[in-house]
């Protein structure tokens, strides 16, 4: 079992309280330490530099005192540590993520603009953290026009047939196993298929049969899922192969789910910087369930 801690970013905001509750459950399920971190952001004009004191500290930090009071009396993981640091929150959290198995944040903290769907720290952490990042959204994202899912705990994961993310699938299977939940694998394929006409520059519809495309996508999805099903035989994993927009399908599937899992873009030769794909960004901004963003496995794995 992974002994690295679960980190909860906390600043006293309602969003961070929701993230702390989620992190408490995650650390308890993993039987590992919960590390509550408050990063005191320096002013924009202050000299650059990050100071992170070693844990455990923070007895005099008001935000951490609030976190201690919130944790008291709740079912706790094996150990809870409190860590205060000074610097840019996104930079400090990403630095700490190198020695964590999970980083949990709320949608927004005390700073920033109230109109933002997701704060800059959440976006930066999802893009740059070394470990998986869970963003816990605030209430109000619930969808009204989505059919009710089957009862029972459920984890959702997105599967890109053209570029499957094995790290995201592995994380989703492990979460479903730990939660005794079924796993809903959403594999959306574009339809109708269209091609650019070289001479006119117009989009032309293809003559490819949709049933054939869907059958091929289902065969590929089952192939990608097979090794994970073998490692987690107790997980009931169902592949939902469907035409349409992948982001929209995932956001709809997230309604009522315990967790929605998406992958982060791999670095490419011509795009070496870390980045979030458009589907991952859309899910982060609109999914009504907590969202886990999984970094790709190192090349040697």
The model's pLDDT over 201-239, given as tens digits with 9 standing for 90+, comes to 555 455 677 788 888 889 999 999 999 999 999 999 999
What is this structure's pTM? 0.83
The model's pLDDT over 241-277, given as tens digits with 9 standing for 90+, comes to 988 889 999 999 999 999 999 998 754 444 444 556 7
Q: Does residue 131 share a domain with residue 88?
A: yes
Residue 1 falls inside a structural domain? no
Q: Does residue 288 share a domain with residue 163?
A: yes
d(CA 290, CA 135): 6
Domain boundary among 109, 136, 163: 136
CATH code assigned at 54: 3.40.50.620
Domain boundary among 136, 167, 191: 136
Concatenate the DSSP letters of all residues of 182-232 into one string: EEEEEEEE-SS-EEE-TTT--EEE----HHHHHHHHHHHHHHHHHHHHHH-
Q: What is the phi-psi region of residue 225: left when phi exceeds 0, alpha when psi lies from -120 to 50, beta otherwise?
A: alpha
Q: Are 287 and 251 in contact (CB under 8 A)?
A: yes
Q: Does residue 126 share a domain with residue 196?
A: no
pLDDT at 154: 96
> Total domain count for the chain?
2
Which of the four pLDDT bands, split at 50, 70 and 90, describes residue 16? very high
Q: Does residue 201 share a domain with residue 94?
A: no
Three-state DSSP at 285 gives helix
Tokens found for residue 269:
């030769």
Q: Does residue 168 share a domain with residue 77?
A: no
149 by Cβ neighbours in 10 Å (0-12 / 13-18 / 19+) ranks as middle
Domain boundary among 136, 166, 201: 136
Does the pLDDT at position 66 exceed 90? yes
Q: Does residue 289 share a domain with residue 162?
A: yes
Interhelix angle 278-286/120-128, nearest 10 degrees: 140
Which of the four pLDDT bands, split at 50, 70 and 90, describes residue 114? very low
Q: Are 45 and 31 in contact (CB under 8 A)?
A: no
Task: For residue 278, give its domain range.
Answer: 154-294
């Amino acid at each position: 079992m992974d002994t690295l801690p679960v980190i909860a970013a906390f600043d006293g905001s309602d969003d961070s309280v929701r993230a702390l509750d989620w992190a408490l459950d995650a650390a308890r399920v993993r039987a590992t330490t919960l590390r509550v971190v408050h990063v005191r952001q320096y002013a924009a004009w202050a000299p650059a530099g990050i100071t992170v004191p070693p844990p455990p500290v923070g007895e005099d930090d008001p935000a951490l005192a609030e976190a201690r009071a919130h944790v008291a009396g709740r079912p706790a993981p094996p150990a809870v540590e409190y860590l205060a640091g000074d610097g840019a929150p996104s930079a400090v959290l990403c630095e700490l993520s190198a020695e964590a198995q999970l980083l949990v944040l709320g949608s927004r903290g005390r700073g920033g603009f109230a109109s933002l769907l997701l704060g800059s720290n959440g976006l930066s952490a999802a893009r740059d953290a070394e470990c998986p990042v869970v963003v816990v959204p605030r209430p109000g994202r619930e969808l009204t026009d989505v059919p009710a899912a089957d009862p029972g705990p459920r984890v959702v994961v997105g599967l890109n047939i053209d570029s499957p993310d094995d790290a995201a699938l592995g994380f989703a299977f492990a979460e479903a196993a730990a939660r005794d939940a079924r796993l809903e694998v959403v594999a959306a394929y574009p339809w109708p298929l269209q091609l650019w006409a070289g001479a006119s520059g117009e989009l032309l519809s293809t003559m490819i049969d949709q049933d054939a495309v869907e059958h091929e996508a289902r065969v590929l999805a089952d192939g990608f899922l097979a090794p994970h099903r073998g490692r987690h035989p107790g997980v009931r994993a169902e592949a939902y192969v469907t035409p349409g927009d992948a982001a929209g399908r995932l956001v709809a599937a997230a309604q009522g789910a315990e967790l929605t899992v998406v992958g982060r873009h791999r670095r490419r030769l011509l795009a070496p910087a870390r980045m979030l794909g458009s589907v991952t960004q859309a899910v982060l901004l609109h999914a009504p369930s907590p969202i886990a963003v999984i970094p790709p496995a190192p090349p040697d794995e």
